[in-house]
Amino acid sequence: MTAAETQSRLAGLHVLAVEDESLVAMWLEDLLADLGCLVVGPANTINAALTLLDQQPVDAAVLDINIAGEKVFPVADRLTALNVPFVFATGYGVSGVQEPHAHRPVIQKPYTTRTLQRALESVVVDS
């Protein structure tokens, strides 16, 4: 068990990863696993993410905003309807987030394990 895992309140949570860049998706999977999360996905399209939400339990999610040329907001809408907390991870910064999700946490790419952990813990604890 890693040091991050022993300190993470995220251990054991099913976290949906929505990311279309293969290397970034693999890196995100590794970060989430280091935090003790059970990774759902990663999904590299909006449809794949929505299908995963129909098929698997999800406790939280990390969403890139631009997925294969489409905005991820349909997934954000579904997560909101399911009362599942999530954060956006993007190179666009907060300016890339549209209403009604403008209040959601945004972590700027590239981010660290600690930044990801803090953002996810803030939404999981607050939910």
How far, CA to CA in Å, does 42 sit from each of 15, 30, 48, 76, 110? Answer: 9, 11, 9, 15, 17
43 Rama class: left (phi>0) / alpha (psi -120 to 50) / beta: beta
Number of domains the chain is built from: 1
Q: In which residue are the tokens 């890693």 written?
A: 2
Write out the two tokens for 120: 């996810």
Q: Decide if pLDDT at 5 tops 50.
A: no
* Residue 101 neighbours by CB distance under 10 Å: 18
**Which CATH number goes with the domain that contains 30?**
3.40.50.2300
Q: Decide if pLDDT at 7 tops 60.
A: no
**Range of the structural domain that residue 29 is part of:** 3-126
* Residue 126 neighbours by CB distance under 10 Å: 8
Question: How much of the chain exceeds pLDDT 70, in percent?
Answer: 89
Q: Decide if pLDDT at 54 tops 90.
A: yes
Query: What is the length of the chain?
Result: 127
Question: 79 with 100: CB under 8 angstroms?
Answer: no
pLDDT digit string, tens, across residues 86-127: 999 987 666 667 788 788 989 998 899 999 999 999 999 755
C-alpha 12/C-alpha 97 separation (Å) is: 28
